């Protein structure tokens, strides 16, 4: 299977695998901030054999308090969900979405944090699949139960690096939100506008090309250089609630640069009145 640094898979690669009949689990993780439930879009047309995954209900645990708007799920809960999706030990998983790689990057990060290594983001998402001539099916897919065993119960201390609110000043911190939210011009969701002091703005869309595919390594390097990120610097990423930050982390990981996630992100930070807030372009 041709992949980019074990993170991304092209539509042509996936089409070849599916056409040849090789075992593969495909997950549809459609989600947008303004339209968090992607099930109706999934039912109207999805990749053959793809199972719908709810970011809100299955890739987040809203019973957790004090850790932002999209707290990470627990390992046991995620294991049960992954088995419902048909995920099996030893079978690759490909995740995709239809909006700026947000849903697929969240699923990729969560599954990787839980210990699953053979999981890939479909580069270009649903649009890339269609552009490559991939077919679509309609209706729900009910897979056979999977048997996957995930090795981390606490994803906050799992296989992917994370930061707590007290640790964000130990790294060069990147904010993956839109520039107007970073500057504090607007804040449509969280209680306070602005950003974590010292953070630098790298919008998640800045690591994507116009067709929704991830930028090439040299272009990622250029984006980092514009923000003064040195080759040897430890990097952390946050966003509004830990979702779109995973897009930037996926891009950096594909480039060979690991980065830690602050899962609670701005929604956690801004809910604590004792935390300092910065506004403006820096």
Task: Spell out the domain ranges in the chain.
Answer: 4-132, 172-271
Query: Catalytic site residue 88?
Result: no
Non-local (6+) Cβ contacts of 230 within 8 A are 172
CA distance 117 to 201: 29
Mean pLDDT confidence for 153-177: 98
What pLDDT is recorded for position 1? Answer: 44
Dihedral sign, CA of 97, 20, 111, 40?
positive
Interval 99-142: pLDDT, tens = 999 999 999 999 999 999 999 999 999 999 999 999 999 999 99
Q: What is the Cα–Cα distance from 270 to 282, expressed in whole angstroms? A: 17
pLDDT of 3 above 90: no
Give the predicted TM-score (pTM) of the model.
0.97
Phi, psi of 249 (to 5 degrees): -65, -40
Mean pLDDT, residues 228-256 taken together: 96
| 282 secondary structure, DSSP code | -
Q: How far is CA 26 from CA 97, 141, 147, in A?
A: 11, 11, 15
- Tens digits of residue pLDDT in 138-154: 999 999 999 999 999 99
What pLDDT does residue 24 have?
95
- The 3-class SS string of 218-268 reads HHHHHHHHHCCCCCCCCEEEECCCCCCHHHHHHHHHHHCCCCEECCCHHHH
Backbone phi, psi, residue 280, to 5°: 100, -175
Tell me the residue ranges of DSSP E strands in 20-60.
25-28, 51-52
- pLDDT reading at 194 higher than 90: yes
Q: What is 172-271's CATH topology? A: Oxidized Rhodanese; domain 1 (3.40.250)
The pLDDT of residue 2 is 53
Q: Is the pLDDT assigned to residue 206 strictly greater than 90?
A: yes
| Integer angstrom CA distances of residue 172 from 105, 197, 237, 260 | 21, 11, 9, 10
Got the DSSP string for 72-134?
A: PPBHHHHHHHHHHTT--TT--EEEE-SSTTHHHHHHHHHHHHTT--SEEEETTHHHHHHHTT-
Of residues 9, 72, 148, 239, which has the active-site annotation?
239
The CATH code of the domain at 4-132 is 3.40.250.10
pLDDT score of 5: 76
Q: Greater confidence, 2 or 196?
A: 196
Distance CA(82)–CA(84), nearest Å, equals 5
Give the residue-averaged pLDDT of 87-104: 98
Q: Can you tell me the mean pLDDT for 263-281?
A: 97
């Amino acid at each position: 299977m041709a992949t980019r640094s074990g993170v991304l898979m092209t539509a042509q690669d996936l089409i070849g695998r599916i056409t040849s009949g090789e075992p593969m689990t495909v997950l549809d993780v459609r989600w947008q901030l303004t339209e968090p439930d992607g099930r109706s879009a999934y039912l109207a047309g999805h990749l053959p054999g793809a199972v719908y995954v709810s970011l809100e209900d299955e890739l987040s645990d809203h019973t957790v308090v004090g850790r932002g708007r999209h707290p990470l799920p627990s390992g046991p809960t995620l294991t049960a969900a992954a088995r419902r999706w048909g995920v099996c030990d030893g079978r690759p998983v490909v995740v995709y979405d239809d909006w700026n790689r947000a849903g697929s990057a969240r699923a990729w990060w969560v599954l990787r944090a839980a210990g699953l290594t053979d999981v890939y983001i479909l580069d270009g998402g649903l649009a890339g699949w269609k552009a490559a001539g991939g077919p679509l099916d309609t209706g729900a897919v009910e897979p056979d139960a999977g048997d996957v065993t995930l090795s981390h119960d606490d994803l906050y201390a799992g296989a992917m690096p994370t930061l707590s609110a007290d640790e964000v000043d130990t790294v060069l911190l990147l904010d993956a939100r839109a520039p107007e939210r970073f500057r504090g011009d607007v804040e449509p969701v969280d209680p306070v506008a602005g950003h974590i002091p010292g953070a630098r703005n790298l919008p998640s869309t800045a690591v994507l090309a116009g067709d929704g595919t991830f930028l090439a390594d040299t272009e990622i390097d250029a984006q980092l250089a514009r923000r003064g990120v040195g080759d040897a610097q430890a990097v952390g990423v946050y966003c509004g609630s830990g979702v779109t930050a995973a897009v930037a982390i996926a891009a950096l990981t594909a480039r060979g640069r690991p980065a830690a996630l602050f899962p609670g992100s701005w929604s956690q930070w801004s809910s604590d009145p004792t935390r300092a807030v910065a506004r403006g372009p820096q």
